[in-house]
Amino acid sequence: MTKDEFRFYRKKLGKTQQELATILGMSLKTIHSYEQGWRAIPQHVARYFLFLVINQRNDGQSAMPCWEKKVCPKKERCPAWEFQCGHLCWFIHGTLCTACDDSCKTKLDSCKNCDIYKSLVEDK
């Protein structure tokens, strides 16, 4: 996640830097550092932050699960299907999507190109 994306999503949540620091369990100085680009935003922070953004946007409509949208033949072995959270496949490690590289450092980057992820973070 870039500093600009971080700032954009913070504003989209309608949170001040201090409020976001409290929610994420970190200092205000850390939030400043992320938004100024002085400090790289760790993947686990980016994932948690995006989880909040996507869940705030929930308008009562269920997103189509990834296994239905992609007609997944491996769904019964996938954690997204097991836990019935096909709209959060980008958040869960160990998914069986062929387009994903499931290493901790690159999963979110891979998922940013996925239609499921894009449909959750982009405005309708």
Do residues 80 and 66 lie in contact, with contact meaning Cβ atoms separated by under 8 Å?
Answer: yes
Predicted local confidence at residue 75, as pLDDT: 85
Find the range with the poorest average confidence among 18-22, 54-58, 100-104: 100-104
Predicted local confidence at residue 102, as pLDDT: 54
Give the residue extent of every domain in the chain. Answer: 3-56, 66-121
Q: Please state which CATH number belongs to domain 3-56.
A: 1.10.260
Question: What is the average pLDDT score of the chain?
Answer: 83
- Between CA 99 and CA 101 the distance in angstroms is 7
With 0.75 as the threshold, say if the pTM is over it: no
Cα-atom radius of gyration of the chain, to the nearest Å? 15
Q: Is the pLDDT of residue 30 over 60?
A: yes
Predicted local confidence at residue 104, as pLDDT: 57
